[in-house]
Amino acid sequence: MTKTELKEFLDDKVIQYNTPSFIESDPIQIPHQFLLKEDIEISAFLTATIAWGNRKSIIKNASTMMDLLGNSPYDFVLNHKLHHLDNIEHFVHRTFNTSDFKYFITALKHIYKNHGGLENVFSKNATSNSTQESIHKFKKIFFEIPHAQRTQKHISDPLNGSAAKRINMFLRWMVRNDKTGVDFGIWNSLSPAQLSCPLDVHSGNVARKLGLLTKKQNDAKALTELDENLRKMDKLDPVKYDFALFGLGVFEKF
């Protein structure tokens, strides 16, 4: 395909997959259960944190997380006492366990009490065309209170070579708002132009087949290459193509 044909092909796939029906089988359905901004962003952050592996398992375990938070994640995070965490037992999603979950609740309370919330932390450290520095700074703030060393692995750092797929996906959910009803667009302090594509095995494989990615590893360098090529097709909303790449990979086995 020529560059024009490739853009037209991917634009059509975005239209095909960026629809409300996408929500039915995707973890984004968890934050769609809420209306309050803080409930949406906290549930989205926790869901994105465990978004690896089987999608049905992700959705099931993210629903369990919300149940454990009384289906009022912001109220629980902001107002919980130490003894409330005792009720959270036996939660596990792959390598994310009960102690990790308890720390995330504690760290989120710290973020909202002392740093103005998730949006404030991410937005004030972003650059004009990237959120990768802000993800790095976010991780530092998230772990600035006492924590177990093992829990740090659940927040990726793009400045340490990671593609940070799950946080980039979370940011897509929060920032994009194209009126299709999938992404929320509740963070106005960041723009879609600053976002990076959530690069995983599916989007990476499709991107390579389409000539958008030459690097073999799904790491930070690959993400930079993919971002550059997606921005050539749409510099204002490059991550809309995540729907096309993911849809081609997961639903069409492209």
| Contact criterion met (CB below 8 Å) for 223 and 163 | yes
The 10s digit of each residue's pLDDT in 6-60 is 999 999 999 999 999 999 999 999 999 999 999 999 999 999 999 998 999 999 9
Residue 219 lies inside a defined structural domain of this protein:
no
Residue 45 lies inside a defined structural domain of this protein:
yes
Residue 232 lies inside a defined structural domain of this protein:
no
Residue 251 lies inside a defined structural domain of this protein:
no
Of residues 159, 154, 152, 117, the one with CA closest to residue 137: 159
**Count of structural domains within the chain:** 1
CA dist 26 and 173 (Å) reads: 12
Domain that holds residue 92: 22-195
pLDDT in the model for residue 193: 96
CA dist 91 and 82 (Å) reads: 17
Residue 37 lies inside a defined structural domain of this protein:
yes
Q: What is the pTM of this model?
A: 0.96
Residue 241 lies inside a defined structural domain of this protein:
no
Residue 242 lies inside a defined structural domain of this protein:
no
Residue 67 lies inside a defined structural domain of this protein:
yes
Which amino acid would we find at residue 129?
Answer: N
